[in-house]
């Protein structure tokens, strides 16, 4: 491409939304993706008639109203759309001490379900979740763009002064402190920990209130919706829109170096030595990959080193992708489940077990009479290093057996009904998602003041921006979409678009 305005390294949802937003404003954008297809952690793969999501499958951001429906908006911006299937229950929890609870899409039903287990705390439950709604209403009343753009901040403040003041109040707070203000029952506080952990991978005390407000309210507002054809469709559609807008994406284009001249990012070099130059460079790789691999040690800004003292890499996952006979699933099984037998093990390897069965919403992802089950649980890459090929395969088999045994309790007959099984380890996540140690993303090393420590899109290197889950506001598709909108907004202002 001649005269490229912006190069985006990586086609995760954060990268693609940056690219499409800029394309919609008339910028010439080139996306360089190391893998064969777009999507990153929101990608897919196909085996024997099954289409598996590699990671994400509980999708927020497809609502029709307000401003937080960022995936709907991102597709619309480049004139593409996607059919989605509403999920009536966000999660079916199977927790210690018989806490068996469904988070219904209807808010009052959810409050009823939870209060039935903790009747003495029903007031506190309502007050805590109502507080989350306050955060959500503030966010959902304004355009979510770059907090690094002063003119936008001034405009939004004059348009929505109360909402802005509300957000300033919540920005340094964590969900755990807020929960303890209203709730005293230790079991219930553990449940709130799990409510946070299952998407932030840290307990409530370390989960920013802004993110909690988004997730705990949007599930009842825009709701959780599954894209028809699988999660991979989101990236496919964004690419379609990008290309329609006259921009380009190249696959198998692994960037190995960000070129810096006169302290400014001016281009990138690929593994095949090809060089591309542009006015602005965006990295959708994790911060560890961006600053640890694409720049030399001497080029790492002090701010990055400081950030790494506050945040570290969360563990990766062990994933089982299964094809199973339909009769394995009891009547009225829900799409998403969380299984934990012992509260003490919530954050331990193989503690919390996450389960998604997207074929309950979109049967076309599996052959007729079969379902997909994706079960995943935290695992560290350290446990998978230094093994011979045979040891690696044996370890995968043993781990898979343990997971299937646990799942037998909610899906009796699962083992006998297995038609297909593929096991992914942290090494798989590292290799196919291009994420250092296969990490899910950054988590605070210790309790921080809400979201104040998360970096925005600009970096200390002029011309270089970051987007995706190692930037504000963190992990999850709708969160990286926010990061993408913000990144594109900041760059558009910088380029005068």
Ligand X SMILES: Cc1cc2nc3c(=O)[nH]c(=O)nc-3n(C[C@H](O)[C@H](O)[C@H](O)COP(=O)(O)OP(=O)(O)OC[C@H]3O[C@@H](n4cnc5c(N)ncnc54)[C@H](O)[C@@H]3O)c2cc1C
Stretch that binds ligand X, among 35-43, 209-217, 342-350, 448-456 (CB under 6 A): 35-43
If the CB atoms of residues 63 and 476 are measured against ligand X, the closer one turns out to be 476
Pick 58 or 142: Cβ nearer ligand X: 58
**Whole-angstrom Cα distance, residue 245 to residue 29?**
10
Burial of 241: CB neighbours in 10 Å, binned 0-12, 13-18, 19+: buried
33 contacts ligand X (rule: CB under 6 A): yes
99 touches 191 (CB < 8 A): yes
* Closer Cβ to ligand X, 39 or 124, answer by number: 39
Binding flag, residue 90, ligand X (CB under 6 A) = no
Q: Where are the beta strands (DSSP E) in 236-381?
A: 248-250, 255-261, 264-270, 275-277, 280-283, 311-313, 316-325, 336-339, 353-356, 370-379
Q: At what angle do helices 477-495 and 13-24 cross, to 10 degrees?
A: 40
Q: Rule CB under 6 A: choose which of 6, 14, 124, 136 binds ligand X.
A: 14
Nearer to ligand X, 57 or 459 (CB): 57
| 396 close to 428: Cβ distance less than 8 angstroms | no
Q: How far is the CB of 253 from ligand X (least distance, A)?
A: 6
**Part of the chain binding ligand X (CB under 6 A), chosen from 57-65, 101-109, 387-395, 446-454:** 57-65
Contact call for residue 468 and ligand X (CB under 6 A) = yes
Closest CA to 490 of 474, 461, 467, 469: 467
Helix or strand (DSSP H, E) at 169? helix 161-170
Residues 103-162 that bind ligand X (CB under 6 A): none
Region of residue 434 (left: phi > 0; alpha: psi -120 to 50; beta: else): left
Q: Tokens standing for 326?
A: 């339909």
Binding residue (CB under 6 A) for ligand X from 6, 7, 13, 492:
13
User: By the 8 A CB rule, do 357 and 329 touch?
Assistant: yes
Asked if 355 is part of the footprint of ligand X (rule: CB under 6 A), the reply reads no
Region near ligand X per CB under 6 A, out of 12-20, 298-306, 326-334, 453-461: 12-20
The contact pattern for ligand X, residues 371-410, with x = CB under 6 A and - = no contact, is -----x----------------------------------
Residues 432-451 that bind ligand X (CB under 6 A): 433-435, 440-441
Residue 486 within binding range of ligand X, rule CB under 6 A? no
The Cα-based distances of 382 to 151, 201, 289, 379, 439 in angstroms read 46, 18, 18, 9, 12
Between 213 and 468, CB nearer to ligand X:
468
3-state secondary structure of 141: coil
Q: How far is the CB of 281 from ligand X (least distance, A)?
A: 12
Using CA atoms, how far residue 435 sits from 65, 257, 287, 300, 468, in Å, is: 34, 16, 9, 18, 12
Size, binding site for ligand X by CB under 6 A: 38
Residue ranges binding ligand X (CB under 6 A) = 9-15, 32-35, 40-42, 55-59, 254-255, 284-285, 289, 317, 319, 376, 433-435, 440-441, 468-469, 475-477, 480
């Amino acid at each position: 491409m001649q005269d490229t305005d912006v190069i985006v390294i990586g086609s995760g949802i954060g990268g693609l939304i940056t690219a499409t937003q800029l394309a919609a404003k008339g910028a010439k954008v080139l996306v360089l993706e190391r893998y064969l297809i777009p999507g990153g952690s929101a990608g897919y793969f196909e085996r024997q008639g099954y289409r598996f999501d590699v990671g994400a499958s509980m999708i927020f951001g497809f609502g029709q109203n307000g401003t937080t429906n960022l995936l709907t908006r991102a597709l619309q911006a480049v004139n593409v759309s996607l059919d989605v299937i509403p999920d009536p229950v966000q999660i079916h929890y199977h927790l210690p001490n018989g806490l068996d609870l469904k988070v219904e899409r209807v808010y009052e039903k959810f409050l009823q379900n939870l209060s039935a287990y903790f009747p003495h705390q029903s007031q506190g439950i309502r007050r805590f979740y109502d507080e989350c709604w306050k955060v959500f209403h503030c966010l959902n009343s304004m355009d979510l763009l770059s907090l690094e753009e002063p003119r936008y901040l001034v405009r939004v403040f004059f348009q929505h002064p109360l909402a802005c003041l509300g957000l300033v109040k919540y920005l340094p707070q964590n969900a755990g402190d807020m929960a303890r203000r209203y709730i005293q029952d230790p079991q219930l506080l553990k449940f709130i920990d799990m409510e946070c952990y299952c998407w932030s991978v840290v307990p409530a005390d370390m989960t920013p209130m802004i993110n909690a407000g988004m997730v705990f309210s949007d599930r009842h507002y825009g709701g959780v919706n599954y894209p028809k054809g699988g999660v991979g469709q989101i990236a496919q559609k964004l690419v379609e829109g990008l290309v329609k807008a006259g921009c380009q994406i190249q696959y198998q284009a692994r960037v190995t170096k960000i070129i810096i001249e006169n302290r400014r990012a001016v281009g990138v070099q690929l593994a095949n030595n090809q060089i591309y130059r542009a006015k602005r460079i965006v990295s959708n790789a994790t911060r560890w990959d961006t600053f640890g691999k694409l720049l030399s040690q001497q080029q790492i800004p002090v701010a990055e080193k400081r950030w790494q003292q506050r945040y570290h890499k969360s563990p990766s996952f062990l994933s089982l992708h299964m094809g199973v006979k339909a009769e394995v699933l009891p009547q009225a099984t829900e799409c998403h489940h969380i299984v934990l037998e012992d509260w003490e093990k919530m954050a331990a390897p193989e503690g919390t077990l996450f389960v998604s069965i997207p074929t309950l919403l979109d049967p076309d992802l599996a052959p007729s009479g079969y379902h997909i089950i994706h079960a995943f649980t935290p695992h560290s890459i350290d446990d998978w290093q230094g093994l011979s090929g045979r040891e690696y395969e044996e370890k995968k088999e043993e781990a898979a057996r343990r997971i299937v045994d646990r799942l037998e309790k909610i899906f009796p007959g699962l083992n006998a009904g297995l038609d297909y099984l593929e096991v992914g380890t942290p090494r798989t996540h590292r290799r196919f998602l291009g994420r250092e140690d296969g990490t899910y993303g950054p988590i605070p090393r210790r309790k921080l003041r809400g979201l104040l420590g998360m970096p925005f899109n600009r970096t200390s290197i002029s011309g270089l921006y970051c987007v995706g889950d190692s930037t504000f506001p963190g992990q999850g598709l709708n969160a990286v979409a926010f990061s993408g909108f913000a990144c594109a907004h900041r760059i558009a202002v910088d380029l005068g678009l």
